[in-house]
Structure 1
Amino acid sequence: MNLAFVESPVQLLNVLEWAHTQAGTSEPGDHTGHGRTADLTIVVLSPTDPMSRGQLRRMAELARDEGHTVRWQEARGGAGAPLRTVRELGPVLRRARRIVIGDPFSRYVQLLLTLVGGKDLTVVDDGTATMEFVAQVARGERLVRWHRRGGRRGPREMVLAPVTFLARRKLSPTRTRTVEVFTSMPLDPPPGIRVTVNDFAWTRARFGPPTVTRGADLVGTSLAETGVVDLEQYLAAVATLARTHGATRYFAHRRESSDKLHRLAVQTGLEVVRPDLPLELIARRGPIGRKVLSFPSTVVHTLPLALAGTGIKVAVCDIAPEWLRDNASPRAQGFLAGVTGTARDVQRLPSPA
């Protein structure tokens, strides 16, 4: 049995893409995936925010339609939830042949990995964080999300340090064990990490082709919410981009705050859309603008693959250094520039004045 742990809709999407590659090419018109991938159990470690939960429930329906078993785990439902979750998942962890994870930086996943013996491991994309994960494994560094500030660790990090250390060992290749990374990101993997390319074949087979509208659409980001970009600078940049390129809709990131989105709609006149599925599926299903504008984010790597052959152009706008908050991580500018610079089949746009 293959056992997958996911905490976000995008992770679940990429588990479905991975399962599709394991199954090989289905018969024309057959999207069920029944048979060769029926031994995949997906455990949803449910987050607390309503937008993520809603998208995950929709993705869980799609996963069940493909013939996979989905187990919804209220992993954050109170103080006793983590211990209860670990206890309940123990038997299924022991039966698993391969463990598939969507977020190697997740403390929850790291805790579960400490219970895993010599299982085969696959890491599927959790967005651009995959690039940082592989780089940190190659350098032998502790696992830290790119937008977190460095320096002295707090009490929580100190308590969890042994868990993180053990998880990093599980996620690092050895002479006898390789780690698979299933990704659409450009990577330079160290020896022992085997990269399998995610070209969104399942998404393209399952959805579309989309109806293409004459205007442009803009993709939102949670860089303000994560403390990387100044909110006022971001709102001004969105307004300029929309005016310059004739954008009419703004696809909100699931972590963007309601107050920010209200301000954005009032100040720019954009129609704010709260997607009920990951953007790759929304865009492939359509309707979608003939040009999709984005700031540096995962979608500048994934949308060109999901929309291949449709004629839709994806354009990325750089983050200007002056947009960054004073307390942003020192790595932020370089990481974001790398996300943009390594994107393929996209149009590069200068930062709006």
Structure 2
Amino acid sequence: MTRVAWVESPLQLVNAVEYAAATGEPLRICLRANSKQLQYTADVLAPHLPEGVQIAGVWNFAFLSPFIVARERLAGDPYSGQFRLAVALTGVRDLVAVDDGSAMLGFVDQVRENRPLARHGRTESWLARRLGTIAGRRLHHTLTTGGLRAFTAYSRDEELHALAHAGGRVLHNKYRWVRRTKFVKDDGAMQSVILGSALHDDGYVKGSPYRSWVEAQVAAGATVYFPHRREKSKSLKRLKEIKGLKVRKAVLPIEIVLASSRELTAVVTLPSSVVATLRNILPDGVQLTVFPVPEDWLTKSADEALRTTLRRIAKPRGAVARV
């Protein structure tokens, strides 16, 4: 029996391949259509795929793809409308969920507590809520019958411990496949890197202290800035004016770019969902520094839930040593 995956982003694709590489399971991966970056990432990964892993084509809808009839499935984003619809239509007996950022933590709590699937901080349509209710109920049944697994960089967090106690199986994603595979060539200049944050463009952090923080990292030796996907052109234009800093957009997922680097020595970032991945994926010897966000940087839009999350990521409870 071959497991079939439905993925909608480059990171989901990477994590699906990591699962197959870690377990030795055969895997067919269905890609959602209309994502140039996802297709480009698939093309780059294709020559390096582990034995038994294949790209099963590009599909407009999950319910028209091989994913819908598979007995064993893997989901890149359990909150996806495509995934909710597939589960609402057919149920699921055997499911592996992989990370698409820190959303994994909310997902496993909702499934364990038999609550509807709903993205945190989003106002969803009636249809999305209805599908979330049906999918949540069916996934809770999958959990109670031993059919739910989480393959995740968050495996030591309390939400995943609770899932395991409820009957789920939790596997730690060590990113061994990406770490041993070199996908990109270094240009020799990428040694100390700043990972950009969308906190300022999302309205949670004031712009002036954020720019000052970037300037301080450049003064300390950082030379390359990788923007967050939600950073606006206007913000990046200001950062490009900082002497000695190169703003460089990553075509591949930043996790692959950094994991493949032979020159990299240091990565600095504010708290974000990528931190859990980086703690596992960065080459040995690369220093990762996560700067806490000072309270006086935050705007009134930053509620207590966000502040707690930022503090938690800066001082993670679930950090583990790589093996």
Please report the TM-score for the alignment, with normalisation by the length of structure 2. 0.83
Q: Greater CA deviation, 57-66 or 8-17? A: 57-66
Q: CA deviation at 1:54?
A: 3.8
* Counterpart pick for 1:187 among 136, 148, 157: 157
**Match for 2:246 among 254, 271, 278?**
271
Question: More displaced, 260-269 or 114-123?
Answer: 260-269
Q: Deviations over 1:143-172 (max 9, x none)?
A: 4434x16xxx5xx53342211101212333
* 1-structure distance, mates of 2:18, 2:28: 14
Residue number in structure 2 paired with 1:71: 57
Q: Which moved more, 1:160-169 or 1:129-138?
A: 129-138
Deviates more, 1:247-256 or 1:211-220: 211-220
Distance 2:224 2:54 in 1: 34
SS of residue in 1 equivalent to 2:213: helix
Aligned partner of residue 171 in structure 2, secondary structure: strand
Contact 2:179 2:260 in 1 (8 A): no
2: CA distance, partners of 1:320 / 1:133? 29
Q: Specify which of 68, 74, 77 is matched with residue 103 of structure 1.
A: 77
- SS of 1:5's partner is strand
SS in 1 for 2:223: strand
1:339-350 superposed matches below 5 A: 339-342=313-316, 344=319
Partner amino acid for 1:258?
A: S
8 Å CA contact 1:223, 1:229 repeated in 2: yes
Q: 1:7–1:268: structure 2 CA closer, same or farther, 3 Å change rule?
A: farther
| TM-fit CA distance, 1:273 | 0.9
Partner of 1:324: 298
* Counterpart in the other structure of 1:166: 134
In the alignment, which residue of structure 2 is the partner of 1:26? none
Preserved CA contact (<8 Å) 1:217 1:288: no
Residue 219 of structure 1 pairs with residue 195 of structure 2:
yes
Q: Which runs of 4+ in 1 moved over 6 A?
A: 208-214
Q: How does 1:255-294 map to 2 (within 5 A)?
A: 255-267=230-242, 269-294=244-269
Q: Following the alignment from structure 2 to structure 1, what is the Cα–Cα distance between the partners of residues 273 and 201? A: 16
Structure 2 CA distance, aligned partners of 1:314 and 1:345?
14
Alpha-carbon separation, structure 2, partners of 1:214 and 1:253: 17
Q: Percent identity of the aligned residues?
A: 29
Cα distance between partner residues in 2 of 1:330 and 1:301:
21
CA-CA distance at 1:345 after TM superposition: 7.2
| Residue 157 of structure 1 pairs with residue 131 of structure 2 | no
Work out which of the residue numbers 93, 102, 106 in structure 2 matches 1:128. 102
Q: Does structure 1 retain, via aligned residues, the 8 Å contact 2:75–2:96?
A: yes
| Matched residues, number | 307
1:13 maps to a residue whose letter is V
Q: Is the 8 A contact 2:29 2:54 kept in 1?
A: yes
Aligned residue number for residue 177 of structure 1: 146
Letter in structure 1 aligned against 2:157: L
For residue 17 of structure 1, report the CA deviation from its aligned partner: 0.4
Mapped pair 1:44 → 2:12: no
Q: Does 1:58 align with 2:40?
A: yes
Q: Equivalent residues in 2 for 1:196-211 (5 A)?
A: 196-207=171-182
Once residues 118 and 69 of structure 2 are traced to their aligned partners in structure 1, the CA distance between those partners, rounded to angstroms, is 30
Structure 1 263/126 Cα, relative in aligned 2: closer, same or farther at 3 Å? same
Q: Is the 8 A contact 1:213 1:290 kept in 2?
A: no
Going from structure 1 to structure 2, the CA distance change for 1:268 and 1:195 (only over 3 Å counts) comes to: farther
CA–CA separation in structure 1 for the residues paired with 2:68 and 2:202:
36
Q: Is the 8 A contact 1:209 1:284 kept in 2?
A: no
Q: State the one-letter code of the partner of 2:90.
A: V
Q: Note the C-alpha offset of 1:334.
A: 0.8
Question: Secondary structure, in 3 states, of the residue corresponding to 1:14?
Answer: helix
Q: How does 1:288-303 map to 2 (within 5 A)?
A: 288-303=263-278
Judging changes above 3 Å, is the alpha-carbon distance between structure 1 residues 169 and 250 closer, same or farther for their aligned structure 2 residues?
A: same
Tell me which amino acid in the other structure corresponds to 1:102: G
State the alpha-carbon separation in 2 of the partners of residues 325 and 46 from structure 1. Answer: 37
Query: RMSD between aligned alpha carbons?
Result: 2.8
CA distance in 1, matches of 2:183, 2:44: 15
